[in-house]
Chain A
Amino acid sequence: MPDLVIRVYDVRFGDAVLVTIPERVNGKAVKRNILFDFGNALSTEGGNDEVFEPVIDDIAKRLGGVPLDLFVMTHEHLDHVQGFLHAAEVLHKTIKVKQAWLTASAARDYYDKHPQARKQKIAALIAYRMTQARLGAGAARSPFVDVLLANNNTASTKKCIDYLRDKLTDPGNVHYVDRTTDLSALQPSESARLSLWAPEEDTADYYGRFEALAAGLRIGDDEIFDFDDLDGAAVTDVELPVPPRGVDAGAFYNLLDIRHANSSSTLLSIDKASNNTSVVTLLEWNGWKLLFTGDAERRSWRTMDKHDLVQPVDFLKVSHHGSDTGMPPDEILGKLLPMPRPPGRLRKAAVSTYPNTYPGVPDDDTLDGVRERADLRSTRDLAHGKLFLEYRFPSKGP
């Protein structure tokens, strides 16, 4: 029996991870293929879209004309969802997909069923609008801010997710999943078992104490906006007040300018909340335990731990492109990759990342911490011309 193979594609600042599982069906050797995410960030070098074509070509070649058994969209960020739409619209290339699992909150009726999450999501959307308006008015801003704005722009992300919902496969084969989803009828392979550690069904908790920083909105119990209220550009028209008598005009407008600049912190909060809705999948095969984490951040790791889900794994897709906040806290990391390492047993880790795209990512200390516990490789270590990192797990098991 061949090895199980994981290929972590270099899509710059994004994720695309193909898992190929060999198995026998009715005595015949077949391969089951699962793709976790496909996308990269907008703006900057880390979001170069030219990387998509060789990746979609390689996946199509490996599928050899058979459909992809499962596509998993971990969360609704551009750097995880953009690839298929780009391939279809720009490159005119598609692949067939049997079924797709999208994070639960991507379902069109999700926020009708979860009022608390709805309230938080609307607050985040309004804050995003305000932040975008304020930052847009600034003369100069960090390229990081552009990435965050693009990554969290629901308008542009929506097109990509609509494609995944409606066109990637038959909408009847699209499943919106959370930790509690019954996967027994959805398993893409007979020899492997997939289980979900995250996200929670109600994503409200991931927003934590998120509140809009000076964003000009009240998140009161009686004043919930509706999604429809977000149409139109009213929130972008912020009229500058006139300084009061006795206050230097320069100092007053300086104060307003800096308050607007601080709005970028709001963007980070929104970004974290969405990261924490990541689908975290454990794939078990012949005794191997392989974990695919999307961009789950600490709040999600703590919730996974609270549910006693965290256990030792043999492969870790490092979360959130190697950020400090994507790494589990030490006590949880110790459960995931316990030390000392078991002698003679493989323990691998992979990070898909690109520098100077997102503030503080990748974080060298964080990656050093993983390196102490596992054989870590980064897509940045790939030799020129190499398309992916490859990991093999023998069928005989650990």
Chain B
Amino acid sequence: MRIRAPLMIQDPDISQMEVGRLVEDWLRIDEDHYLDGPITPRVAVVDLNPDTEALEPGAVFIPPEGRRTLGSYKVDRKRIYSPHFIQVSVFATVLRTMYMYEEQDTLGRRVAWGFDAPQLLVVPRAGWWANAYYERRSRSLQFFSFRAGNKLIHTSLSRDIVAHETAHALIDGIDPDLYDALDPQSLALHEGVADLTAVLIAFRSGKLRRAVLDKTDGSIEKSTNFSSIGEQFGRAIDPSGQAGWLRNLLNEDKLDPDGDPADEPEEHELSQVITGVLYRFLVELHTDYKRRLAARFGTTTFAVSGRALYGASEQFKRMILRGLDYMPPGEITFADYGRAILAADQASFEDDTWRRWLRANFVTRGIVRSESDLDVETNVPNRAIRDVDLQGLVDSDWVAFTFAEKNRKLLGIPPTAQFQVLPRIVVSKRFERAGESLERAAAAKEDTASDAGADGGAGPVKELLFKVRWSQKERNPRDLGGVSTRRIQTGVTLVIDWDQRLIRSLLGPLDLAGRRRARDTMLRRLMGRGLAQVSTPDDPDAVQQSLGTGIEAVVTNGILRIRNTGRLLHVAKDAGDA
């Protein structure tokens, strides 16, 4: 059943954009059923009163009546600070972000959460604090409120922040290993993709897009409106910018490909490298769309800048989010993510113009030494794939295990490694014909083109995602936990074209061993700050010793294992020292 729900697009109190208050109705929410809250099978708003922690009554669901086909929630759109408006707006923004990931033009599948439960809990007024976060162990998004001068700011009314935190939850569902990784680039990737998700959600509002482009001569390069994530929010809580809230995606940050990985910055600063290169990619795409659409319509680039941004951001979304499904499990670097983006695109599209741009710029930014590091093979025939019972692979853990065991060499599984085959995922993606993106952008309305209409089109491609994970031992500095060995996760992702019986992509990590010193640095930081304390399973205070940060460092049989490092993303932040 579909419902109509208002969501806050732009709250003037938490934005520098001078476009006034924007509340949009969104008509595409389509869940199985609805309860007061809003509560649905996959997302439940749990509004705990920030003063008493009592459960506030949720917004009342109104089912469609008579000739109406859309349900709704009882809410006064003009009272944006009322609990019911906040509840419905945050709910709609969370779902809008989820749908962007799940639509056929992106992943083409429903994303399961990174925790063992079907429902994400959303706490829209979690308390008085300048923060917001996704937290796996409580299966929740928590949005806090705070005062900045005379203003009361609810982070749950910030579209940027809600989309960003929802993205963390979605990414955790797609690749749970990132949340447990020790490589700072893995965490930086979590953060970077969440930032870019917030940008993409902003671009999906036709009104907001037009309003901003009108003020910037149709450019997303000149304006910091789109490229600064949570800028006003960030300034409110931390004028110095040192606490990591202020991140400008329009940057020239680089890595030193020949430098010591141990010297890389921390995850928030590091994330700017990947968002910097990808946002620049979007700027270039937008410029290209404007040029081509202006030529087509015989008008100025400014006149077509809105629909060009719509078309460019849809293509951008497809590339960067589809890459997530192609990444191997375990410790990940920016280079691994880049290879996954390129593989996902190369498997579907012949035109390599933009892939060449990405390859060159990943080198310029120092993410890889040479473009050849990013070479990937796609759509490769293989006997193992030709003969296998694909439905059996999906349905039976035993069939899947046997397939992996039999094809260790193909999959790169070490001969003695005990591996785990992750639940197989079947996706149905929209397959786009050459030039179709431009056609869709041209057909879109300049002012209002939104996420409607992204589905459908050409026939879908059916893919099987087959992921295998295993752990690997590596040397651990003895001063970090008192043991000389630690265990890290790694793996491989095989993507099979179901109908053509081809290997669309097969990716493992590019240089797992070469990143060991970066992992040492991360571990040293976690322990040095008391964010992770080593415990053993026999220790009654195991896990508790990390002072509630939830980051686990456990020694079993003389081997150290770290988990829940994703808690560093906002939860464990200490702005008080800034």
Contacts and interface: CB of A to CB of B under 8 A. Distances in A.
B530 A211 contact: no
Contacts of A140: 540-541, 544
B541 A247 contact: no
A244 B37 contact: yes
Contact of A142 (B142, B144, B524, B544): B544
Contact of B50 (A214, A255, A272): A214
A297 B52 contact: no
B44 A246 contact: yes
Interface residues of B, number: 56
A247 B44 contact: yes
Nearest to A241: B55
B36 A258 contact: no
Contacts of B544: 140-142
A247 B46 contact: yes
Nearest to B140: A255
Interface in B115-129: 117, 119, 121, 123, 126-129
Contact of B53 (A145, A216, A248): A216
A251 B37 contact: no
Contact of B577 (A255, A263, A297, A363): A297
A364 B547 contact: no
B128 A255 contact: no
A255 B529 contact: no
Interface in A192-211: 208-211
Interface string A327-364: 00000000000000000000000000000001111011
A144 B543 CA distance: 12
Contacts of B53: 214, 216, 238, 241, 256
B546 A251 contact: no
Listed residue (A214, A269, A272) with the most chain B CB atoms within 10 angstroms of its CB: A214
Interface in A201-238: 208-220, 238
Contact of A365 (B36, B121, B524, B575): B524
A298 B128 contact: no
Instruction: Say whether chain A's binding surface is mostly helix, strand, loop, or mixed.
Output: loop
Interface stretch (B131-139, B203-211, B214-222, B316-324): B131-139
Contacts of B46: 244, 247, 252, 255
B129 A255 contact: no
A262 B133 CA distance: 12
Contact of B576 (A145, A208, A248): A208
Contact of A269 (B146, B237, B576): B576
B106 interface: no
B548 A363 contact: no
Nearest to B49: A216
Given A220-B147, A365-B528, A142 B541 contact: yes
Listed residue (B119, B138, B547) with the most chain A CB atoms within 10 angstroms of its CB: B547
Interface string A135-177: 0000011111100000000000000000000000000000000
A301 to B, nearest CB: 10
A218 B138 contact: no
Given A143-B541, A251-B139, A324-B529, A217 B128 contact: yes
Contacts of B479: 364
Interface residues of A, number: 57
Contacts of A141: 544
A242 interface: yes
A268 interface: yes
A128 B13 CA distance: 31
A255 B138 contact: yes
Given A142-B545, A218-B51, A213 B127 contact: yes
B121 A324 contact: no
Contacts of A256: 53
Interface in B282-296: none
Contact of A258 (B137, B529, B540): B137
A209 B575 contact: yes
A365 B520 CA distance: 13
Interface string B131-159: 00001011110101011000000000000
B55 A217 contact: no
B48 interface: yes
Interface in B7-61: 35-37, 39-40, 44, 46, 48, 50-55, 58
A245 B51 contact: no
A24 interface: no
B533 interface: yes
A366 interface: yes
Contacts of A77: none
Contacts of A93: none
Given A143-B541, A214-B127, A216-B51, 11 more contacts: A214-B53, A241-B54, A244-B36, A244-B37, A244-B44, A245-B39, A255-B140, A258-B138, A358-B530, A360-B531, A361-B530
Interface of B: 35-37, 39-40, 44, 46, 48, 50-55, 58, 117, 119, 121, 123, 126-130, 135, 137-140, 142, 144, 146-147, 237-238, 479, 524, 527-531, 533, 540-541, 544-549, 571, 574-577
13 contacts: A145-B547, A208-B575, A209-B575, A212-B128, A241-B54, A244-B46, A244-B58, A251-B121, A254-B138, A255-B46, A256-B53, A359-B530, A359-B546
Closest CB pairs A-B (n = 5): A360-B530, A214-B127, A359-B530, A264-B548, A241-B55
